[in-house]
Amino acid sequence: MSKRFTVMIIPEDGKRVRHLRIRRSLLTSALVGLLLFVGLFAWLAYSQLDLRFKQSELQHLRLVNGRQRLNLQRLNADVDGMSGELARLAETEARVRQLADFDSSPQAVPVAVGGIPDGDNPSLVDAVQKRINQLRLAIDLRRQSQEDVRNLLNDQVSISRATPKGWPARGWITSYFGMRRIPGGTKWRIHEGLDIAANIGTPVMATADGVVARAEYSSSYGKAVIIDHGYGYRTLYGHNSRILVKRGERIRRGEKIAEVGNTGRSTGPHVHYEVRLNGIPIDPRKSL
Ligand SMILES: [Zn+2]
């Protein structure tokens, strides 16, 4: 193959034909150059497009980032609000404990209130997550503590409901608790209750919640009711004309259990009312 080419240029107007003699290596170089140029152009065009695309993507990401940061800050503000709420709950609980004479709040876990550190979003997420975990722990402790308060209050309410209080019948006291002369005699003996005189048929009411332990006739107390209140308390209502409850029945304070009478060893219509704590008679007047 020849090392040169001849390119003939034939003008249409009949002028002289021109001959261009080109070396083969030059043609090859020109072709390579052209290819390089096209390639470079294509690469530049691609780079430009890619750059534009990346720029718009960056803008979008910045926007998303900003929004996420804002959301994190709002979340943090929420945590602040909840911490404050929790602190107020703890205060209320402390006041309830004080009112109920309980020990002051056992564990108070303070949740740090305040801003979150500057930094990239992942570290902000960590910071907020940490605060939320603290909050969760504090809420658990608060719940436990309030459970304790509730149980203590329940106990107090139960004890209070089981403690005899008030008059068992409307009437007037004819004999007090303590030593007294036996009617018609000269001997002294202890009167273990309170005698309240009232008309026959006057309602006799339980002075505390409890369970009927006895509801029967006895020669001394006549038709009598004994109520077991738990916590060591028992009450006795004697000399009734009628008994309205049965053994084992649950009774509420104020519930009518009998009617005033004159049964048993009695000299007139009255209720013999006794309060015993752990088996020992105590003065019912103290709980009227
Ligand atoms: Zn009596």
Q: 206 C-alpha vs ligand 1 centroid, how far in Å?
A: 17
Q: 194 C-alpha vs ligand 1 centroid, how far in Å?
A: 6
Q: What is the pLDDT of residues 65-95, one digit of tens each?
A: 999 999 988 988 999 899 999 999 889 888 8
Q: 216 lies in a domain?
A: yes
Q: 209 C-alpha vs ligand 1 centroid, how far in Å?
A: 22
- Tokens encoding 207: 């002075």
Q: 116 C-alpha vs ligand 1 centroid, how far in Å?
A: 75
Residue 133 has pLDDT above 60, yes or no: yes
In a shared domain, residues 12 and 87: no
Q: 246 C-alpha vs ligand 1 centroid, how far in Å?
A: 23
CA separation for the pair 238, 265 (Å, rounded): 10
CA separation for the pair 272, 225 (Å, rounded): 10
Mean pLDDT of the 152-177 span: 95
Q: 260 C-alpha vs ligand 1 centroid, how far in Å?
A: 13
Q: What is the pLDDT of residues 243-282, one digit of tens each?
A: 999 999 999 999 999 999 999 999 999 999 999 999 999 9
Backbone angle region of 235, left / alpha / beta, with phi > 0 → left and psi within -120 to 50 → alpha? beta
264, 238 contact by CB (below 8 A) = yes
pLDDT at 136: 92
Q: How large is the angle between the packed helices 121-162 and 24-99, nearest 10 degrees?
A: 20
Q: 94 C-alpha vs ligand 1 centroid, how far in Å?
A: 46
Determine the structural domain holding residue 157 and report its residue range: 70-162
Q: 204 C-alpha vs ligand 1 centroid, how far in Å?
A: 15
In a shared domain, residues 13 and 81: no
Q: 167 lies in a domain?
A: no
What is the secondary structure of 235-271 as a DSSP string?
Answer: EEEEEESEE---TT-EE-TT-EEEE-B--SS-SSSEE
CA dihedral angle for residue 69, residue 73, residue 78, residue 82, rounded to 10 degrees: 120
Q: 191 C-alpha vs ligand 1 centroid, how far in Å?
A: 6
- What whole-number percentage of the chain has pLDDT above 90? 62
Number of domains observed in the structure of the chain: 3
Residue 7 has pLDDT above 70, yes or no: yes
Place of tokens 């080109």: 22
CA separation for the pair 80, 86 (Å, rounded): 10
Residue 121 has pLDDT above 90, yes or no: no
DSSP helix/strand/coil, 40: helix
CA separation for the pair 197, 204 (Å, rounded): 11
At 246, which CATH number?
A: 2.70.70.10
